[in-house]
Structure 1
């Protein structure tokens, strides 16, 4: 490898085939796959969040999957700290870090850095959760707009997780999160003082391909034990505002298990919500291109399996990678 550390980013919407692509590239390039999805960090949600199977994990190293207890929210700052540790470890082993996921903010925390916000007192965090539970996201957005309009203007009134975060930062530090973000950041990720070099592959399949994939994935999740995972979550009586309790399929299956709707309706609503989420993901990547910090190759197709990757995209992707990082990839 060259003196500058290299990492590969694999980004794209839910159900686009990121995991299959990461697995195939990892085998080709001697990689370690590192999770960059905010829901796949949680334990107990392996089926619902489509985490890699035991068979897939046995083929090459996978990191940061199912690591966080659902009772404890995972922040971008926590993930960034952990992923830097895993990237350094992969580099020390002579392996290529391959960051795979759909959470754009996670990627940007590496390529651009994050605001250095002081620790938040527990009482401020508890207040934010209590307000969200008692009044709902729209009311919390209105409160935030009155107290910290700059931060509220950046957030959707339905984005409960980020609204709660913005409220706790304002209450806990006396400054809005927008103010902290405008004051500077950690800067791009570094390894022992040397900036990481990022190369990105972005999957951008047609909408109709995603809709079909979402429906197929939902059916597979039900067959794989998704209801059992939701039953286990409900048995713990966790705060419904926690991110893990709002993972795709959890609210809908929870309602079905409580008898509030039928299984068919739960599936319809879940697939609709996932479809809307993939639209927001696509919008995010259009307006915040990974190309700002990384050479990016876009694939306008869905990678349905590792076999499909090997047959239809392998030469194309490897040619792209080697054309810009000649001599730096394991096995190049």
Structure 2
């Protein structure tokens, strides 16, 4: 923050949850005071009813980067969504849009068949995706199937055919890798602060909108856990404990992803 303010750099959001205006607390979005210290872009720009993808984010961020380059202003892309950085530095597949009718039919098939049978059928069209996608990830499984059925080409093949959005040598990568014990302690502290700052009200407002559970905003860590408490299915202490565990798990996955995908980036604690 201090570096951005002193250099005139613009901070660009590269965190999928901090895109959503409805998730200021749960996503630990920069406060209004923080945002006043330096120019922030792409924070809180989406409604929870929208489904921003890596493609949509890329189409939003690239014009901003061009604008800043023309103005001679440095840009700091900050966040933890690995696929956003992959799109910039390794490329984004130009996958044709899948019609709603195809997506709806595929989703209905998943619900009718069950995950195991659906995954076996996907394996015949896109074996790499069927093996790579984690258990229970309905959104990615149905996405892979919809792309394969609509285009006649496996999603895995599409994603392998990419070109970097940023020119090599035009950027520098930095990964913050704090001590694991300190990281987990901060995760636990963050959840407690979220409750104090209004996380329950934020989740209550989301639940009242009756949005699809498949939307990215509804999958944010803490939404399901605190919604269970608000529905009388868990005590507040239980909701806090499960959110803390989910947050630590998410942080661990981020560390693993960046360690595997960005081995050449500079590390700092």
Question: Taking structure 1 as the reference length, what is the TM-score of the superposition?
Answer: 0.76
Structural mapping, 1:275-314, within 5 Å? 275-289=248-262, 291=264, 296-300=265-269
RMSD (CA atoms): 2.0
Secondary structure of 1:197's aligned partner: coil
In structure 1, runs of 5+ residues without a counterpart are 1-22, 301-332
Distance verdict in 2 for CA 1:280–1:195, change over 3 Å:
closer
Q: Which residue of 1 aligns with 2:133?
A: 155
Secondary structure of 1:283's aligned partner: helix
Q: In the alignment, which of 201, 217, 220 is matched to residue 247 of structure 1?
A: 220
Task: For 1:196 and 1:58, locate their aligned partners in 2 and report how far apart those are by CA, in whole Å.
Answer: 31
Quick check: 1:263 aligned with 2:236?
yes
Q: Residues 177-227 of structure 1: CA distance to partner in whole angstroms, max 9, x if unpaired?
A: 012123x22x1225xxx6661112210011111111111111111111111
The offset of 1:71, in angstroms, is: 1.2
Higher relative contact order (CA 8 A, sep 6+): 1
Q: Residues 10-30 of structure 1: CA distance to partner in whole angstroms, max 9, x if unpaired?
A: xxxxxxxxxxxxx12212322
Total equivalences in the alignment:
269
Quick check: 1:98 aligned with 2:71?
no
Q: Is the 8 A contact 1:256 1:262 kept in 2?
A: yes
Larger helix proportion, structure 1 or 2? 2
Larger strand proportion, structure 1 or 2? 1
Quick check: 1:200 aligned with 2:178?
no
Q: Is the 8 A contact 2:10 2:38 kept in 1?
A: yes
The offset of 1:146, in angstroms, is: 4.4
Task: For 1:72 and 1:122, locate their aligned partners in 2 and report how far apart those are by CA, in whole Å.
Answer: 14
Task: For 1:136 and 1:33, locate their aligned partners in 2 and report how far apart those are by CA, in whole Å.
Answer: 43
The offset of 1:92, in angstroms, is: 2.8
Task: For 2:209 and 2:112, locate their aligned partners in 1 and report how far apart those are by CA, in whole Å.
Answer: 20
Question: Taking structure 2 as the reference length, what is the TM-score of the superposition?
Answer: 0.92
Quick check: 1:41 aligned with 2:8?
no
Task: For 1:260 and 1:25, locate their aligned partners in 2 and report how far apart those are by CA, in whole Å.
Answer: 45
